[in-house]
Amino acid sequence: MPRYATIQLQFVFLIFVVTPFLSCGTTHAASNEPPSDIRFDGLAGAETLEAMVGKPMAIKLQSGRFIVKVTLDELQFDRKQNGLKFIKYKSETGRASTIKASDVYRFWIGDQRFHLRYFPPTQQLFVINTSQANALAESRLSGMGQQIREQLDDDEQAKATAEHKQFLEDAVKKLKNVGEFRIEETESALILTDYPPTATTGLRTFVDNLNIRLNQMFGIPKGDSVWRGKPIVAVFSTPARFGAFEETVMNNPNHGGAAGVRSGPMRFMQTAIAKNLDSNVARGLSWGYSLGYAQRLHSTARGVPWMNMGIANTVQFEIVPDRNRQSSQRSNVIRQIKNAGSLLGLFDATKLDQERWPMSGQLVQFLIKTDAVAFGQMFRDVKLGVPADEALEQNFGVTKEQMADRFGKSLGIAGVSP
């Protein structure tokens, strides 16, 4: 089995039966140790764990809630599998509380940050020193000309959002002779549109739900954002008004009438031309928004095409359900794979033609159904510089040849090759 590269765990975990392992501020040599042939970057050793006990602690939960001004009292590990099960802490008044490790997003001991690594074969969690793990990830990424994306704090996010609002306010002024444009702010995004407020209720809800679902898919706590400031969604009622925006605001006379995504280091913006605010518009918005989200997540690396397109395809149907379209897509993918006897080189493709987008979606859906946490962690591994083939084996325990065969069998097709 290949070496496990560590990444910061940001996913929702299953609840497991727990057997306390540490007590009275002591640790055990086997605690926090995966099987002997597995190595995690930044894995915290027994000495580090013992030194934590009695120290000031802060915890951020998957729900987004912070627990502060507490002291670590005990780390409780599974006696058989060695994974962390419970964290026990005391408040300033001495009151003891216990939380499940699966509820933890990250925690701090003094100024040191820790997170948890998920081990799919046993569904256990292991304590990782984030700075040590990140140093190794940065080394991998630097060789690719990329780097880790650090999340902005609240003040930085507010400042970036203010910048985006100013950009939109200037746009409204420049377009005043073209139409009446408005800026709407939701919990997660900024909307620029010439539609009246009565028509955009569904759009506002849709954008927030889209962001919530993507956060859930990758274990980002509620209320957190992967964006720099709030992303912009610009919806125009006519091609002419979209064209005026491109030419007047974006200084882009060669737009060709094509709306789409602009995803840069400073701002994410998705534009759409919508004669009606219907499911077709929502489907298109969810596709581009999901791709932008995947690009922003974890690092500046672009990831791999089949994962990116598969995520967009999967989220599209989750946000805008359409049983007939989903059934038709699945049938077409089955026919495609049967005719080729393979996945048409999907795993190794550096660029995907549109015909293989649905196949990517079906594969991602299969992986999420198999183990949603493992899929999210595999995506993060890849974004942090781990080769895709290695990340697949790390998180699902199979080669791409074995995964192609498994995926094919899930569709009722035997002997499928990559």
Q: How does pLDDT run across 49-58, given as a tens digit for each residue?
A: 999 999 999 9
Same domain, 314 and 359: yes
Task: Give per-residue pLDDT as tens, 275-294.
Answer: 999 999 999 999 999 999 99
In this predicted structure, what is the pLDDT of residue 323?
93
The pTM (predicted TM-score) of the whole model is 0.88
Which is it for strands 112-119 and 66-77: parallel, antiparallel or unpaired? Answer: unpaired
Answer whether residue 3 shows pLDDT above 80: no
In this predicted structure, what is the pLDDT of residue 60?
97
Task: Give per-residue pLDDT as tens, 169-184.
Answer: 999 999 999 999 999 9
In this predicted structure, what is the pLDDT of residue 13?
36
Spatial CB neighbours of 195, under 8 Å, sequence gap ≥ 6 = 203, 235, 237, 274, 277
CATH assignment of the domain containing 162:
3.40.30
Number of domains in the chain: 3
In this predicted structure, what is the pLDDT of residue 252?
96
Same domain, 287 and 411: no
Radius of gyration for the alpha carbons in the chain, expressed in angstroms and rounded: 23
Answer whether residue 25 shows pLDDT above 50: no
Q: What phi, psi does 224 have (nearest 5°)?
A: -80, 160
Answer whether residue 21 shows pLDDT above 90: no
Question: Among 149, 168, 191, which residue terminates a domain?
Answer: 149
Distance separating alpha carbons of residues 24 and 26, to the nearest angstrom: 6
User: What is the average pLDDT across 178-207?
Assistant: 96
Distance separating alpha carbons of residues 297 and 149, to the nearest angstrom: 7
Same domain, 281 and 307: no
Question: Among 115, 130, 149, which residue terminates a domain?
Answer: 149
Environment class of 110 (CB within 10 Å of its CB; exposed 0-12, middle 13-18, buried 19+): exposed
Same domain, 119 and 166: no
Answer whether residue 296 shows pLDDT above 90: yes
Distances (CA, A) of 362 to 89, 353, 367, 384, 407: 43, 15, 9, 24, 9
In this predicted structure, what is the pLDDT of residue 30?
64
Task: Give per-residue pLDDT as tens, 6-19.
Answer: 444 343 333 333 33
Q: What phi, psi does 348 have (nearest 5°)?
A: -100, 0
Neighbours of 73 (CB within 10 A): 19
Same domain, 1 and 144: yes
In this predicted structure, what is the pLDDT of residue 223?
85
Q: pLDDT exceeding 70 applies to what percent of the chain?
A: 93
Task: Give per-residue pLDDT as tens, 349-402.
Answer: 999 999 999 999 999 999 999 999 999 999 999 999 999 999 999 999 999 999
